[in-house]
Amino acid sequence: MMSSCIDCEFEKLQDNKESFLQSIRVEPDKERLRLLELKRKYDNEEISELDISEEDIMKMADLYEEEINSIEAKTNKAKSRIKCMLKELKYS
């Protein structure tokens, strides 16, 4: 009797754990991965524009724009840091 209760409790615990793991798992965005792979290939000139569909071109353009924006943001941050440092350098 006692052992059946313990088994029952153990099963419950197992189920909870699995549901928890299930809930926190991040599913990879397959579409994005595909597009990233496509972009990489295009960058390395493994494929040409002709090999990409118009729909994918649009999506890739979005990816490029995202990348450009992040690069520019980083550049701007670097610029502002340089400015601060130059000021510091000037008044030191």
Binding site for another protein (CB under 8 A): 42-43, 45-46, 48-50, 52, 54, 57-58, 60-61, 64-65, 67-68, 71-72, 74-75, 78-79, 81-82, 85-86, 88-89, 92
Counting Cα atoms < 13 Å in the Cβ hemisphere of 49 gives: 4
Among left, alpha and beta (phi > 0; psi -120 to 50; other), residue 52 is beta
Q: Which is nearer to another protein, 9 or 72 (CB)?
A: 72
- Distance of closest approach, residue 76 Cβ to another protein, in angstroms: 9
